[in-house]
Amino acid sequence: MNFIGAAQESISLIDLELGFVILLSIAALVAIFNQRIRMPYTVALVVAGLLFSFFPNFLHFSVSSDLILAILVPPLLFEATLHIKWEGLKFDLVPILLLAFGGTLISTIIVGGIVVQVLDVPFVAAVAFGALISATDPVAVIAFFRSLGVSKRLAILVEGESLFNDGVAIVLFNLAIAAAAASSQSAGLVLSEAVIEFLRVAVGGLAVGLGLGFAVSYLILKNVDNAMIETATSVALAFGAFVIAEEFHLSGILAVVAAGLMVGNIGMQNTSPTTKLTLENFWEFLAYAVNSLVFLVIGLEVVIEQLFNWRVPILVAVVAILLSRAVVVYSLTWLHGRFTSEGHIPRPYRHVMYWGGLRGAISLALALTLTGDVFGGTIDQELRVMTFGVVLFTLLVQGTTIEKLIRRLGLAEKPPQKIEQQRRQALLYAKMTGQKELERMRDEGILFKDVSEAMDAVYEAEIAHHKVALREHLQAFPELEQDMYLQARADVIKAERNAYGDAARRGFISDEMYEELIEESDKRLAALEIIKANQRWRVESLPAEANSEDE
C-alpha cells in the first residue's frame, strides 16, 4: 500500500515537472514570436494560454491557489521590491499607503455594493469578490514604463500601490470568508473584530518581513562575501518570510514586501558589487520565469464557454471595477493634494494610474479558493468566472491600450535636447558608415581613384560638420555629455570584463587572478550605476514639478 502511494506521488511530481517544462518552453516560443508582433509580452502569454485551453488534456496537473500564492507570488513581489529605493518610495509613501489601504477598502465596498444590488449574490460573497478583485497587478504596465522611459516616480506610484494592496486585498478577502463562516455573530461584533484582526494581520506581516529582512541584510549580506551563499539566503528569505508570517496567521504577502524592501535598500548596499550583480541577475531571471508561468496559467484556467454563459455578471463586474478605480484614484489623489503642498500628483499621472490598474495573479489565486464549499457551488462558480472575465478584460483591453495612453499624455516624450542629440549622433554615424563603405568599394576596385577621392572629400567635410554640430550641442547641454561618457565607460568596462573571461579560458591567467579582476570590474560598474541612478533621479523628478499646474 505504501509502495502504491509512493508511486502515485512520484507520477504526480513527474507530471508537475513536465508541466513546468512545457509552460516555460511555450513562454520562450511566445517571447520569440512576440518580437515580431510587438504585443505586450504578458498579454501574448495570456492569449497563448487561451489557445491552449481549448485542449483540456494538454497538461496533466491542475493549478491551485496555494501554488500561485505560496510558490509563484513571493519571488515576484521580492524581485519588484529589490528595485524600489527608499528615497523614491519615501517621497510618495503617503499617497501610496492611502491608495493601498484606504483605496482597497473603498474599492471593496463599491464593487461589493454594486454586485449586491445588481446581481443575486449574498452580501458577504459580494464583499469577498470586491476584495479579491481590488488587488492590482502592474506587471504589463511597468514593462511599458521601462521601455518608454516613463518617469521613475510614476512607476513607483503604480508599483508601490500594487505591492501593498496585494496584502491588504488578501486580508480583506480572508475576513469576508471568516465572516461568512461565523454568520451567527452579530454584525457589530464581526465589524469590531474585523478591524482589530485587519490591523493585527497587516501590521504583524510587515513586522515579520522587516525583522527578517534586517537580520539577513546585516548578518549575512554584510558579513558573508560569497555570492552563492548570499543568493541562496535571499531565496530562503523570500519564501521564509511568507511561510513564517502565514504560520502565525499574519500577512505573508506584506511580509515578503517588507523583507524585499529591507534587502533592496540595506542588504544591497552592504554586500560586494559582484554579489549585487549576481543577486540582480538571478532575481531578474526568476521573476521573468515566474511571470511567464503566471500569465500562461491565467489563460489556461479560463473556460471560454463559461465566459459566454456568465457574460452579464462579468459585464457588471467590469463596470464596477472601472467605476471603483476611478473613485479611488481621483478622489484620494485629490484629497492628498488638498492637505499637502509637496508631492502633488499631476493629472496625467492619475490617468495612467487609473487605466493601469490591471488585475492578475492575486485575484486569480483568491478566486481559485472558491471551490464550492464557501458560498455554495453556484455562487462560487459565478465569482470565479467573474474574476476570470475581469482579469482578461484588464489584460486584453487596458493592457493593450495603456501604451497609447502614455504616449498621448506626453509621458513617454524625451526632452527636446535629448532628441536633438540622438539626431546629430545618427547623422554622424551614418556619414562615417558611408565613408567606410566608400573605402571598401575603392579597395575592391569598384570605383576609380579620382571618383573615390572626390566623394571622400565630401564625406570628410560632412563628418567634420556633424562633429562640430554635436560638440556644440553637448557644450550647450553638459548633462548629455556626462550621460554619453558614463554609458561609454560602462560599455568599455563590460568589454574588459569579457576579455578577462577569454584570457582565463585560454589559460593566460589563473582562476584566482580572474576572480580578482572581475571583482575590480564589478566595483567600477557599481560606482557608475550609482552615478547614473543619481543623475536619472534628478532629471526624472523635474516633470512632476513641471506638470503641477495641471491640477
The radius of gyration of the chain from alpha carbons, rounded to an integer in Å, stands at 27
Q: What is the pLDDT of residues 198-246, one digit of tens each?
A: 889 989 999 999 999 999 998 888 888 788 888 999 999 999 999 999 9
Amino acid at 304: I
Burial letters 219-257, b for 16+ CB under 10 A, else e: ebbeeeeebeebbebbeebbbbbbebbbeeebbbbbbbb
Higher pLDDT, 414 or 491: 491
In the predicted model, what is the mean pLDDT of residues 36-45?
A: 77
pLDDT for residue 148: 67
pLDDT at residue 299 above 90? no
Shared domain for 351 and 462, answered yes or no, is: no
Q: What is the pLDDT of residues 128-138, one digit of tens each?
A: 999 999 988 87
49 part of a folded domain: no
Shared domain for 110 and 201, answered yes or no, is: yes
Of 104, 223, 81, nearest to 173 (Cα)?
104
Higher pLDDT, 188 or 437: 437
**Last residue of one domain, picked from the residues 348, 373, 408:** 408
Q: What is the pLDDT of residues 2-19, one digit of tens each?
A: 433 443 444 467 777 777
103 part of a folded domain: yes
Range(s) of the domain holding residue 488: 416-550
User: Which pLDDT band holds residue 390 (cuts at 50, 70, 90)?
Assistant: very high
Q: Contact at 8 Å (CB) between 466 and 425? A: no
Q: DSSP class of residue 222? A: T
Residue recorded with cell 500564492: 69
pLDDT for residue 214: 92
DSSP string covering 440-464: HHHHTTSS-HHHHHHHHHHHHHHHH
pLDDT for residue 108: 94
pLDDT at residue 315 above 90? yes
Q: How far apart are CA 394 and CA 143, in angstroms?
A: 15
Shared domain for 208 and 244, answered yes or no, is: yes
Q: How far apart are CA 507 and CA 29, in angstroms?
A: 37
Q: How far apart are CA 220 and CA 263, in angstroms?
A: 11
146 part of a folded domain: yes
Cell numbers representing residue 250 in the block: 499574519
> Which residues are within 8 A (CB) of 111 and not within 5 positions of it... i.e. 6 or more apart?
126, 129, 130, 133, 134, 317, 320, 321, 324
pLDDT for residue 343: 67
Shared domain for 12 and 77, answered yes or no, is: no
Shared domain for 72 and 131, answered yes or no, is: yes
Q: What is the pLDDT of residues 136-165, one digit of tens each?
A: 887 767 766 766 667 788 888 988 898 888
Q: How far apart are CA 233 and CA 230, in angstroms?
A: 5
Shared domain for 106 and 191, answered yes or no, is: yes
Q: Contact at 8 Å (CB) between 370 and 384? A: yes
Q: How far apart are CA 311 and CA 319, in angstroms?
A: 12
Name the burial class of residue 131, with classes exposed (0-12), middle (13-18) and buried (19+) by CB atoms within 10 angstroms of its CB. buried
Amino acid at 405: L
The total of structural domains in the chain comes to 3
Overall pTM surpassing 0.85 (yes/no): no
User: Which pLDDT band holds residue 530 (cuts at 50, 70, 90)?
Assistant: low
pLDDT for residue 3: 35
Shared domain for 402 and 358, answered yes or no, is: yes
- In degrees, to the nearest 5, what angle opens at C-alpha 355 toward C-alphas 107 and 540? 115
Burial letters 32-62, b for 16+ CB under 10 A, else e: eebeeeeebbbbbbbbbbbebeeeeeebeee
pLDDT for residue 323: 96
pLDDT for residue 144: 67
72 part of a folded domain: yes
Partners of 136 in the β-ladder: 359
126 part of a folded domain: yes
Partners of 359 in the β-ladder: 136
**Last residue of one domain, picked from the residues 345, 373, 408:** 408
Shared domain for 388 and 498, answered yes or no, is: no
- Can you say whether the dihedral through the CA atoms of 344, 162, 165, 253 is positive or negative? negative
Shared domain for 308 and 327, answered yes or no, is: yes
Shared domain for 79 and 146, answered yes or no, is: yes
User: Which pLDDT band holds residue 489 (cuts at 50, 70, 90)?
Assistant: confident
* CATH number for 253: 1.20.1530.20
238 part of a folded domain: yes
- In degrees, to the nearest 5, what angle opens at C-alpha 72 toward C-alphas 66 and 78? 125
Cell numbers representing residue 323 in the block: 467605476
Shared domain for 160 and 236, answered yes or no, is: yes
pLDDT for residue 354: 93
Q: What is the pLDDT of residues 449-466, one digit of tens each?
A: 788 888 888 888 888 888
Q: How many other CB atoms are found less than 10 A from the CB of residue 373?
A: 9
**Last residue of one domain, picked from the residues 408, 439, 459:** 408
231 part of a folded domain: yes
Higher pLDDT, 485 or 233: 233
Mean pLDDT of the chain: 82
Higher pLDDT, 481 or 241: 241
Shared domain for 244 and 387, answered yes or no, is: yes
Q: How far apart are CA 273 and CA 426, in angstroms?
A: 34
> Which residues are within 8 A (CB) of 233 and not within 5 positions of it... i.e. 6 or more apart?
216, 220, 221, 224
52 part of a folded domain: no
